[in-house]
């Protein structure tokens, strides 16, 4: 296997692991901050690393359009381009292309689309997606897939799954193995357990370095998401990392870890930070709320981030109401620190065999 993955502890279905890449090791369960366009919004690379993150997510679709994969490669690859020395996982671009709807046409070869930036025409195929991710220098490449909408008719989902499996074979064939780099396959199938099982079986037959649970967190309930995770996990190899895409809020992460998931990404902590919401050990806080205007307390007295160690809720409320850029910077770093610490606490609970007793504040979404 091009990537190293070792299971260090188990507690029920949950496990603590270590994923080794060309740019360092990641302790799992792990949350990956989203750096779609080569940056985590409102954060410096040093700030992201200070939260505890050792892997971020970039995106094929956005980077191919601007500034261009070949340009990034000529400048030394995405790690050097964005000054991030740790691991990078790149999304294949499939989800973004599918979301264009009126601007794209899906065919067996790939997806023809017009750029949302300038209307230029492009064809993204499995081979081109893998090539772009190689040019970027991603430690973890994602197979090109089709994420069907929710809700959708079963026939539509089934056709999408079969196409995704054919694209998975092409993606795997196009990937160039090298030490410290790997490719993940993506399980699709919507909320249809049998289709998801079919997809998982075929992906395992093709053989990937890790497996993503995709096609969820796009409108279904949390209970349905968890049910599909419980459906998928037993079908996937125990010695490979499992990645639940696009999830989520703190309670989603805890529930998925208890069901055997190792890796996560989501816009929630960074987007919330830019809109005045902070996740804390006592629950989620809306810094726009007037009740914080005279509060000298920190956001979270147990948090190690600059927002909590240097500023009061009153000041953060002021920055948020004044729409100062510093509000986005401080609250984003706080939220990413909270997520990183949550993952660390889950790893500790698993190692000590205490995960069943692990609970979030009832006010934390």
Structure tokens at 200: 């998982």
Confidence bin at 261 (pLDDT 50/70/90): very high
Q: What is the pLDDT of residue 361?
A: 66
Q: CA 81, CA 85: separation in Å to the nearest integer?
A: 10
Which of 248, 305, 253, 314 has its CA nearest to residue 280?
A: 305
* pLDDT above 80: residue 275: yes
Q: Are 17 and 240 in contact (CB under 8 A)?
A: no
- Whether residue 345 lies in the annotated active site: no
Q: Are 285 and 300 in contact (CB under 8 A)?
A: no
pLDDT in tens, 137-182: 999 999 999 998 899 999 999 999 999 999 999 999 999 999 999 9
* pLDDT above 50: residue 285: yes
The residue annotated as part of the active site, out of 11, 209, 265, 300, is: 265
* pLDDT above 50: residue 363: no
pLDDT in tens, 192-229: 999 999 999 999 999 999 999 999 999 999 999 999 99
**Range 4-266 classified under CATH 1.10.10.2520:** no
| Higher pLDDT among residues 364 and 163, named by residue | 163
Mean pLDDT of the chain: 96
The residue annotated as part of the active site, out of 91, 232, 252, 341, is: 91
Q: What is the pLDDT of residue 170?
A: 98
Looking at residue 158, the DSSP 8-state letter turns out to be H
pLDDT in tens, 17-74: 999 999 999 999 999 999 999 999 999 999 999 999 999 999 999 999 999 999 999 9
What are the sequence ranges of the domains in the chain?
4-266, 277-333
* pLDDT above 60: residue 256: yes
pLDDT in tens, 291-308: 999 999 999 999 999 999
* pLDDT above 70: residue 1: no
| Higher pLDDT among residues 145 and 103, named by residue | 145
* pLDDT above 90: residue 102: no
* pLDDT above 60: residue 362: no
Compute the average pLDDT of residues 223-250. 97
Q: What is the pLDDT of residue 355?
A: 97
Phi/psi at 311 (nearest 5 deg)?
-140, 160
Compute the average pLDDT of residues 318-335. 98
Task: Please report the DSSP string for 33-84 in residue order.
Answer: -B-TTSS-TT--HHHHHHTT--EEEEEHHHHHHTT-HHHHHHTT-HHHHTT-
- Whether residue 91 lies in the annotated active site: yes
Structure tokens at 111: 């997806």
């Amino acid at each position: 296997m091009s990537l190293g993955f070792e299971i260090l502890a188990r507690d029920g279905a949950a496990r603590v692991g270590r994923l080794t890449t060309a740019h360092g090791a990641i302790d799992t369960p792990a949350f990956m901050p989203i750096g779609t366009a080569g940056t985590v919004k409102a954060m410096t690379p040093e700030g992201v690393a200070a939260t505890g993150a050792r892997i971020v997510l970039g995106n094929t679709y956005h980077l191919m359009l601007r500034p261009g994969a070949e340009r990034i490669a000529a400048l030394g690859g995405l790690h050097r381009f964005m000054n991030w020395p740790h691991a990078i996982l790149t999304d294949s671009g499939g989800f973004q292309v599918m979301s264009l709807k009126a601007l794209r046409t899906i065919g067996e070869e790939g997806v023809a689309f017009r750029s949302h930036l300038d209307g230029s025409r492009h064809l993204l195929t499995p081979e081109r997606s893998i090539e772009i991710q190689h040019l970027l220098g991603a430690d973890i490449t994602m197979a090109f897939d089709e994420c069907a909408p929710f809700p959708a008719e079963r026939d539509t989902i089934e056709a999408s799954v079969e196409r995704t499996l054919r694209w998975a074979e092409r993606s795997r064939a196009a990937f160039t193995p090298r030490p410290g780099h790997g490719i993940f396959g993506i399980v699709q199938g919507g909320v249809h357990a049998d289709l998801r099982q079919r997809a998982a079986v075929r992906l395992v037959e093709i053989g990937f370095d890790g497996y993503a649970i995709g096609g969820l967190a796009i409108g279904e309930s949390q209970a349905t998401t968890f049910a599909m995770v419980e459906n998928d996990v037993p079908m996937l190899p125990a010695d490979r990392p499992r990645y639940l895409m696009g999830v989520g809020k703190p309670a989603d992460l805890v529930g998925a870890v208890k069901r055997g998931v190792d890796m996560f990404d989501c816009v929630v902590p960074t987007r919330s930070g830019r809109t005045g919401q902070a996740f804390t050990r006592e629950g989620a806080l809306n810094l726009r709320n007037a009740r914080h205007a005279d509060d000298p307390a920190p956001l979270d007295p147990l948090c190690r981030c600059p927002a909590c160690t240097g500023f009061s809720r009153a000041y953060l409320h002021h920055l948020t109401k004044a729409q100062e850029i510093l509000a986005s910077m401080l609250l984003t770093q706080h939220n990413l620190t909270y997520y990183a610490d949550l993952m660390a606490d889950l790893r500790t609970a698993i190692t000590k065999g205490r995960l069943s007793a692990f609970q979030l504040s009832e006010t934390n979404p």
